[in-house]
Amino acid sequence: MYRLVKTIIILLFVFLTPIGVFGQEFSISSIAIEGNDKTKEQYILRELVFGVGDTISLEKWDEKKKRSIQNLINTALFHSANISLKRERGNYCKVIIQVVERWYLWPIPQVEIDERNFNTWWETKSLSRASAGVFLTHNNMRGRGEMLKVLLMLGYNKQLGLSYEFPYLNKKKTFGFGFESIYTLRHEVNALTDSNRQVYLKTPDSPIQRDLINAIQFTYRPKYYVSHLLQLRYRKYVFADTLINFNSCYSSQQNSELQYFGFYYKFKLDHRDYKPYPLSGYYADMEVFKYGMGIFHNDLNVLRFKTTLRKYWQYSRRWFSAIGLIAQVSNHHFQPYLIERGLGYGRDFVRAYEYYVIDGQDYIVFKSNLKFSLLPKRFYKLSIIKSDKFNNIPISIYMNMFADAGYVNNNQNYNVSNTLPNTFLYSGGLGVDFVSYYDAVARVEWSVNALGESHLYLHFIAPI
């Protein structure tokens, strides 16, 4: 009887003892995936930093589990992901992956205003530059991570576009392919810069500019956090004579037509924990832009190099910081106004200078942030919504303090009223960031610049 009781106690101890107590390492016997109603298993397995047959120490398991969850979330295919272990015989364990997929098909009515950012539109609050249409996006088409986009816009600008991306063509899931074709009719364009602000020119009766872009792209992702993209482009513009007469530097050689072949290359190293709003990790990329290959009879020959570096630190549950550096250099060949890009476009700007464009061929921007989590990430369940794709809403709020600095070099500044190129730019301020589901970010910031101007600004991307 004593031996029977002893044996039962030993067996209970073996099977109920947590893995952390039982041994210092375990082997993965199998991987089971739950919740992937559409996504193919192999595309989930591609993001895991472990596989069947691996022997993993308990010390390294937590880090591998964390990285694998981050990889899955950063595909933008899932709302949430969880990884757990199920004990089997001996030191073998079964890994269970649980995911909640996003909604992938979005036929969304679009209202688009032709402005660089929300703040420049808010100055006038005019809807005269508004276009309306339908933007159809089908993410994760066929469950293979493909993305199909169809765009139809009418109104201020008329646009018809189609793009398709297939991330993995081969069995190793390292090579991808894509293409895009977009045709646009514009009745008004940013024709020049005066006093560091865009000046628009409009021809109401006929388009002032027509442009067509056709491109094919190839991607290569040999490792989890390393990727390459090469895009080959053909672009053609047709301008109204009114536009060329208004700004003789708008196009190459004052021609009313500009067409060229070019290419774009991007190398990316991405170790961010959450791409839409990173709190830890680092990011680096290098981009090459080439406009004109000497095929057509024009003097367009622009070569541009650009790099972005970002580093994020988490000091505690609530304290974070980040720094970022953006730098661009170009060859010294003449750049038409249409192609020249300094600061004030996209993510490349010094905060508190949102109302300005700063034209130039070379620039550098430094950004820094210190932030405190007012509301760490929490999930709120909406019981009235039945679908898991929408009813679990994450919300987090951060208060931040920031300082930026930058400089734009312009060797072809043909308008003396543009005083911001070739001058030192700097700013600082305070802000509040809101982060929610489907990668939604909203930032309200008060900032002051070197000109002594201070304003409230609204943005919809991460600060760095």
pLDDT in tens, 269-298: 999 999 999 999 999 999 999 999 988 888
Q: What is the rounded CA–CA span in Å between residue 238 and residue 258?
A: 7
Nearest residue to 424 via CA among 370, 366, 374: 366
Cα separations in angstroms, 5 against 9, 16, 274: 6, 16, 51
Give the β-pairing of 105-113 and 55-57.
unpaired
Sorted by sequence, the CB contacts under 8 Å of residue 152 that are 6+ apart come out as 133, 134, 135, 159, 160
Residues of the chain with CATH 3.10.20.310: 2-101
- Please return the burial class of 206, using the count of CB atoms within 10 Å of its CB with bins 0-12, 13-18 and 19+: exposed
Segment holding 5, helix H or strand E: helix 2-16
**One-letter identity of residue 270:** D
Q: What is the rounded CA–CA span in Å between residue 70 and residue 273?
A: 6
Residue 188 has a pLDDT of 87
Sorted by sequence, the CB contacts under 8 Å of residue 166 that are 6+ apart come out as 144, 145, 146, 176, 177, 178
Sorted by sequence, the CB contacts under 8 Å of residue 198 that are 6+ apart come out as 116, 120, 190, 357
| CATH architecture of the domain with range 2-101 | Roll (3.10)
Residues facing 198 on adjacent strands: 193
End-to-end CA distance of the chain: 69
3-state secondary structure of 463: coil
Which regions of the chain are under pLDDT 70?
1-23, 108-132
Could you tell me the pTM of the whole model?
Answer: 0.87
| 253 φ/ψ sector (left φ>0, alpha ψ -120 to 50, else beta) | left
Residue 255 has a pLDDT of 81
Contact of 166 with 157, CB cutoff 8 Å: no
**Own/partner pairs for 7-11, CB < 8 Å, 24+ apart?**
none
Residues of the chain with CATH 2.40.160.50: 105-459
Pure H helices in 53-171: 58-73, 118-124
Contact of 403 with 390, CB cutoff 8 Å: no
| CATH architecture of the domain with range 105-459 | Beta Barrel (2.40)
- CB atoms under 10 Å from CB of 316, counted, come to 8
Q: What is the rounded CA–CA span in Å between residue 462 and residue 464?
A: 6
Cα separations in angstroms, 349 against 115, 364, 426: 15, 10, 11
Contact of 47 with 75, CB cutoff 8 Å: yes
Segment holding 221, helix H or strand E: strand 209-223
Number of Cα atoms under 13 Å in the Cβ half of residue 94 = 8
Residue 110 has a pLDDT of 65
3-state secondary structure of 64: helix
In 142-203, DSSP assigns E strands to 146-155, 157-166, 175-186, 188-194, 197-202
Q: What is the rounded CA–CA span in Å between residue 321 and residue 311?
A: 8
Contact of 300 with 336, CB cutoff 8 Å: yes
Residue 20 has a pLDDT of 46
Give the β-pairing of 157-166 and 146-155.
antiparallel
Give the β-pairing of 209-223 and 175-186.
antiparallel
Q: What is the rounded CA–CA span in Å between residue 216 and residue 163?
A: 10
Pure H helices in 26-75: 41-45, 58-73
